[in-house]
Structure 1
Amino acid sequence: MTGLEAKNIWSRLSSSSLVRFLLFVACGWASVQLLAYFESIIVIFAFAAIIAFLLSYPVKWLTRYIPHSVATILIFLISMTIIAGVTVTVGLTIISQGQQLIDSVTRFLDSLVPLSNQVEEFFRSRNIQIDLSVFEAQFRNQALSWLATSLTIFQGFITNFVTFIFIAVVAFFMLLDGGKLWELIMKAAPKQRRTHITKIVRKNFLGFFRGQLILTLFLTLSTFIVFTVLQVPFALILSVMVGVIDIIPGIGATLAVALVTLIVLSQSVWLALKVLVACIVLQQIQDNFISPRVMQGALNLNPVVVFFALLVGARVAGLLGIFISIPIAGVIVSLFEIDEMKAEVE
């Protein structure tokens, strides 16, 4: 590009367009800081909205036979009892197995020290100087840090009763009067677009979370059954790990299979191979038979857009951003009808 061409391009940029661009960047930065400042409040309301969304299905069905308020209270009490019971019983078992798993992985990493020394001796005998202690220490620290951090986060989640109560209360009132609140929000949109926007939000958010919940429950329960039959140690925490990581669209299932296989490898090579084959079979069943039916076009995004949304969501809102970034991207693409960002329909 010559100096004259650069000067012509610069001259086309008016001061007003530069101001708009700078204001857009400033608004984006301010929004990120605002999200970070109110992160705890946003997390409570976001998870409450997700619970209210999911419970709206049984409430809507039960409303055919009893009044809406009674149906809401009944479904809410039943669901909260189930969630609390499962969280306490399963959660305590997961914490116990998680601590045992950390000890097992620690012993396995300690057993690799003689092997690394043998590898170093093998290379030294061929006049190749190599020091594996640095890589060994980094790998050890990263593996143990990840397991310990994950267990701490889960333990803090199930023991934070105050946050759980806040989420439950907010979810109840959203379920009871959520329609009125949504109508209030929709008053900011043009009247002729309100129905269209409501359908898009319901399709992307409700369809996505409902589908992911079904897929997560299937993969968690099926892997737990298979791991129990194969007599895999720490079957419960490993199956929960597979189901939770699988929530990440696109790459979640692959990451879960690889991680669980590496963990089981510390117990037995043959057992790790059987776990790998079983997980691949279950993943194929989920991807080819269950996922197409439960998702039913809830999201129609290009894989590149999915990964971009995941990275942006993780950067802006951490774990919560990973959960809600995909349906938000689906709403934006559907609302503005950006066909280039949609997946190709075969």
Structure 2
Amino acid sequence: MFNWLDRLENRRLLRLLLLFALGWVGVQLLQYFAYVLLIFLFAAILAFLLNYPVRWLKRYLPHGFAVTAVFLGTLALLIGLGITLGLAIIGQFQELITSLPSQIDLWIDSLERMEQFLEQWNLEINFQQLESELRNFALAGLQFGFGKLQAIFALFVGGIIVAVITFFMLLEGERLWQYLLSFLPDPWRDRVPQALERNFLGFFSGRLLLSLFFGTGTFIVLLVLRAPYALALAAIAGGFDLVPGIGSTIGISLVCLILLPKGVALSLQVLISCILLQQVEENILMPRVMRNSVNLNPVVLFFALLVGATVAGIVGVFLAIPITGTIVSLWDLKALQAGSGDPPQSSS
């Protein structure tokens, strides 16, 4: 009788044990240092992106002056966008939250009419539980609106921390990075930076570009269709699009649900237009933008998303894919990659 243990070579068994141990250690670290990792991750991505103009300016200026010029210019641009676009989005969110109770009443009226219509066909369905959940949702939205100042202050403090870390990464990060790499064995000193750059920096920069496209496209669609809260709803769609796999679908569903009290026709028009945008993003832009980034089997991708959400919530959702991609790249686990070919044939 075939014994599958005979197929496990010592090297393969060791790799599986190391992979399991690394995964367990990664989960524990992610749970404990989730906020710190997120701060440093955002700072590393910004430093990586800003390093390109810094390299160009270093042809004409010393390193310190080039870093300072690029950092201050980027900071001025972000502050300008925050004062103009950011305040406009916050204002529309405030209007949306203020009108939330009246929209909930319209949804409840629609449910009551649907319930009466079904009763005519001898279909008795009680929507009271759903109506209660909708009212709780409205109350939670109002509480979020009243507590928004505290959230904005925390976001502002986090942004300052990210900015400071980004500046020092640009200024002194190269020496620290080379020092950390010196602890790795020689073959890994090249593989680790390549895997991290491709899976972390490539993933987040690619997702950011795709989300900007989807958010901008949604904003144009909402303007053309004269939908209310265009900036706020486009920000919702673009923000959810950062989550790979199902993010854009969730964003589209929320936008159409919010617009439903404004008219079924408007909601359907937005739904169809956003689905077309989603198809353009996934079938035309994504293969080009993400071709040098994370390469994971879709089943592994969704599994990583669920594990990340369970372990560290929203932080885990954003970190799960690049962490999994880095592990797959470093250990060359081709069976977990997308388009890895036919599965290996087993022999008895």
Which TM bucket (shorter chain)?
0.7 to 0.9
What is residue 278 of structure 1 aligned with on the other side?
Answer: 273
Q: Give, in angstroms, the shift of residue 159 of structure 1.
A: 5.9
Q: Is the alpha carbon distance of 1:185 and 1:151 closer, same or farther for their aligned partners in structure 2, counting shifts above 3 Å? A: farther
1:339 aligns with 2:334: yes
- The residue identity in structure 2 corresponding to 1:319 is I
What is residue 192 of structure 1 aligned with on the other side?
Answer: 187
Q: Give, in angstroms, the shift of residue 197 of structure 1.
A: 1.7
- Of 43, 55, 61, which aligns to 1:48? 43
Q: Give, in angstroms, the shift of residue 211 of structure 1.
A: 1.0
CA distance in structure 2 between the partners assigned to 1:143 and 1:345 by the alignment: 47
What is residue 201 of structure 2 aligned with on the other side?
Answer: 206
What is residue 6 of structure 2 aligned with on the other side?
Answer: none
- The residue identity in structure 1 corresponding to 2:312 is A
Q: Give, in angstroms, the shift of residue 173 of structure 1.
A: 0.6
What is residue 17 of structure 1 aligned with on the other side?
Answer: none
Q: Give, in angstroms, the shift of residue 101 of structure 1.
A: 1.3
What is residue 219 of structure 1 aligned with on the other side?
Answer: 214
CA distance in structure 1 between the partners assigned to 2:142 and 2:48 by the alignment: 32
Q: Give, in angstroms, the shift of residue 58 of structure 1.
A: 2.4
- Of 54, 58, 61, which aligns to 1:63? 58
Q: Give, in angstroms, the shift of residue 339 of structure 1.
A: 0.6
Q: Is the alpha carbon distance of 1:122 and 1:270 closer, same or farther for their aligned partners in structure 2, counting shifts above 3 Å? A: closer
Contact 1:205 1:327 in 2 (8 A): yes
1:317 aligns with 2:312: yes
What is residue 236 of structure 1 aligned with on the other side?
Answer: 231
CA distance in structure 2 between the partners assigned to 1:267 and 1:137 by the alignment: 21
What is residue 9 of structure 2 aligned with on the other side?
Answer: none
Moved more, 278-287 or 298-307: 278-287
Moved more, 21-30 or 138-147: 21-30
Q: Is the alpha carbon distance of 1:188 and 1:50 closer, same or farther for their aligned partners in structure 2, counting shifts above 3 Å? A: same
Q: 3-state SS of the aligned residue for 1:225?
A: helix
Identity of aligned residues (%): 45
Q: Is the alpha carbon distance of 1:185 and 1:144 closer, same or farther for their aligned partners in structure 2, counting shifts above 3 Å? A: farther
Give deviations 1:196-248, integer Å, cap 9, x for gaps: 22111111112112211211111122221221222110000111111110111
Give the alignment's TM-score, normalised by structure 2: 0.82
Q: 3-state SS of the aligned residue for 2:262?
A: coil
What is residue 296 of structure 1 aligned with on the other side?
Answer: 291
Q: Give, in angstroms, the shift of residue 139 of structure 1.
A: 3.6
Q: Give, in angstroms, the shift of residue 107 of structure 1.
A: 1.2
- The residue identity in structure 1 corresponding to 2:169 is M
1:100 aligns with 2:122: no
Q: Is the alpha carbon distance of 1:217 and 1:150 closer, same or farther for their aligned partners in structure 2, counting shifts above 3 Å? A: farther
Contact 2:199 2:326 in 1 (8 A): yes
Q: Give, in angstroms, the shift of residue 311 of structure 1.
A: 1.8
CA distance in structure 1 between the partners assigned to 2:228 and 2:205 by the alignment: 31
- Of 121, 129, 143, which aligns to 1:134? 129
What is residue 256 of structure 1 aligned with on the other side?
Answer: 251
Q: Is the alpha carbon distance of 1:219 and 1:112 closer, same or farther for their aligned partners in structure 2, counting shifts above 3 Å? A: closer
Q: Is the alpha carbon distance of 1:222 and 1:22 closer, same or farther for their aligned partners in structure 2, counting shifts above 3 Å? A: closer
- The residue identity in structure 1 corresponding to 2:208 is L
Moved over 6 A (4+): 21-31
Q: Is the alpha carbon distance of 1:62 and 1:209 closer, same or farther for their aligned partners in structure 2, counting shifts above 3 Å? A: farther
Q: How many residues align?
A: 328
Q: Is the alpha carbon distance of 1:129 and 1:257 closer, same or farther for their aligned partners in structure 2, counting shifts above 3 Å? A: closer
Q: Is the alpha carbon distance of 1:127 and 1:274 closer, same or farther for their aligned partners in structure 2, counting shifts above 3 Å? A: closer
Uncovered stretches (5+) of structure 2, i.e. residues with no partner: 1-15, 342-348
What is residue 16 of structure 1 aligned with on the other side?
Answer: none
1:183 aligns with 2:161: no
What is residue 104 of structure 2 aligned with on the other side?
Answer: 109
Q: 3-state SS of the aligned residue for 1:176?
A: helix
- Of 156, 165, 170, which aligns to 1:161? 156
- The residue identity in structure 1 corresponding to 2:228 is P
1:89 aligns with 2:87: no
Q: 3-state SS of the aligned residue for 1:343?
A: coil
Q: Is the alpha carbon distance of 1:151 and 1:32 closer, same or farther for their aligned partners in structure 2, counting shifts above 3 Å? A: farther
Contact 2:227 2:266 in 1 (8 A): yes
- The residue identity in structure 1 corresponding to 2:214 is L
Q: Is the alpha carbon distance of 1:146 and 1:295 closer, same or farther for their aligned partners in structure 2, counting shifts above 3 Å? A: farther
Contact 1:91 1:158 in 2 (8 A): no
Uncovered stretches (5+) of structure 1, i.e. residues with no partner: 1-20
CA distance in structure 2 between the partners assigned to 1:124 and 1:230 by the alignment: 35
Q: 3-state SS of the aligned residue for 1:80?
A: helix
